[in-house]
Structure 1
Amino acid sequence: MGTSQSLIKALRNGSQADIARAISLIEKNGEDMSEFLDLLYREHTSPAPLIGLTGFGGAGKSSLVGALAEALLKEGKRVGVMAVDPTSPRSGGALLGDRIRLQHLFPNENLFFRSFANKGALGGLSPILMESVKILEVAGFDYIFLETVGIGQSEVDITHFADVVVLVLSPGLGDEIQFLKGGIMEIADILVMNKMDMPSANISLAALEAYARLLDEPPTVVPVSAIERRNIDVLLSKIDKCYEKKQETKELEKIRKERNKALYHSWMMQMLEPIVDQRYSEGEVPYIAAKTFVDRIGRCLDEH
């Protein structure tokens, strides 16, 4: 108990080293993890706005996150950034890693960055990443950004996680048509047309606004240029207003209940996977093998 208590106490001071140590403890999934998480969830904290940025690769999500973080740091805010990266086929770790992002903002004690490997999970939202949100809240962070790997429609899973969902697009790629067809626009609270410094940007912006109007509840459209730092303050204002509106309408409560449910499912699947693998024999009919296993679990639960 002493080690977990001392780590929780250290987290309240919000040092980079202690935050990293807490996340590593969950990644290792050791014997003391249950004790640590139990104490972590007993901490009374004010939830930090969790902003999810999604979109196809090449839209400039990383540059935009950097611009948003820079603006908030200038206001004296504490900012956490979690990036879901593609997985290395050899190491299983995050392929892009921490080194090539947000370099110009470090060192800064008010900024914490961590990249996570998606490891093939739908939307890349692993339980370790989800628990990291709570760690950053206990550490007193004001904003937490989640940048997902650009893989398309599977990122719909982000709706179970983020308080405000920002869909990032860029001119000339036709992303808006693909997202409209895939229903991804409908999950976004804010549509961002990035790279407004490009010559064709205004044409793409007009198309995006037209497509957005086709939706039953058209999301806010914000044109920005992350490189030129254009309209970054406008985007932050829209994010804040969206978050405040969800607070007032109690929608945030619903989102956080969904988040906890998704986290429960993620932990359950991770814990069951090795057991399930051990029970499957080559040559069995997959459906029948799975149903037999689940029926056995159901009978055990009924008996107890």
Structure 2
Amino acid sequence: MDRRLSIAPMMDWTDRHCRAFHRALTSRALLYTEMVTAPAVIHGDRQRLLGFDPVEHPVALQLGGSDPDQLAEAARIGEAFGYDEINLNVGCPSDRVQSGRFGACLMREPSLVADCMAAIKAAVAVPGTVKCRIGVDDQDPLVSLFETVDACAAVGVEVFIVHARKAWLQGLSPKENRDVPPLDYGLVRRLKRERPHLSISINGGIASLDEAEAHLDASDGVRLDGVMLGRAAYHEPAILGQADRRLFGTGTPDVDAFTAIDRYRPYMAARLAEGVHLPAMTRHMLGLMHGRPGARTFRRILTVEAAGPGAGLEVVDRAVEAVREAEARMGPRTEAA
């Protein structure tokens, strides 16, 4: 699997509608689900939690948990649903996650993470991968990151996505944990340099494709295997329309915002026919026209009019037309967000 670009698992954001929309912009990026706990997969409404459209491939299921048997069962269920990868969350810093003994607090228990990954790998044929931080609280990242990676590599894990920040489990909110702890990209590059046989992708604070390309540059002798974009991909999704050409080297034309909406339309129409409300799908599009004339009107229509009873694709058409009219009137100038 080509991992040069992936879109981070983000709670309340990267649901199946978001992933289908992102796929309209890039055919090559690896997409991730929101984190789903292993007990939820085993005991919950599986179709609601795990259902996805074939258009999303390649797509990975991210699991949360710390019980190897539960994770193995959840992984088997995920594989049966058709996911291309099973990923273990060893990075989420929320209080709820800590109380369940999973997420970033597992950085303190590398042997347990390895046990979990061994169980997942034994249960499924698709890749079992790890997304982790570089450490938590007062840990020395040089120790905690390498211990976690080496323990998992010893049981056959080959793919790691590293958020290049510590998580502070005491004193910082989950939101603050995405920004406040300093980034240490150099440590992730060192990990790849010293463990060249492993696939290492980097995550955290990467705000553009320019920055993604810089991380993939091997001029220092280190060639990272991939970049994972998070909030930048969500808030300014139009950047993904250049990803196939710039990061994967395809000869296909870039996908502009209007083309992406055209591609997303059949998916939206199918879900509307199933009873899904329009805002569940259009909320992921709000940043698509960022920086373009008419962007504010586009957002307003998709926020306000999409919420009306019986709203359908005509609302999307009005939002698109507002941008086209503004561009015809104003030219290619940008509108303040």
Tell me if both proteins adopt one fold, taking TM over 0.5 as the criterion: no
TM superposition score normalised by structure 1? 0.36
TM superposition score normalised by structure 2? 0.33
Answer 1 or 2: higher relative contact order, Cα 8 Å, separation at least 6: 1
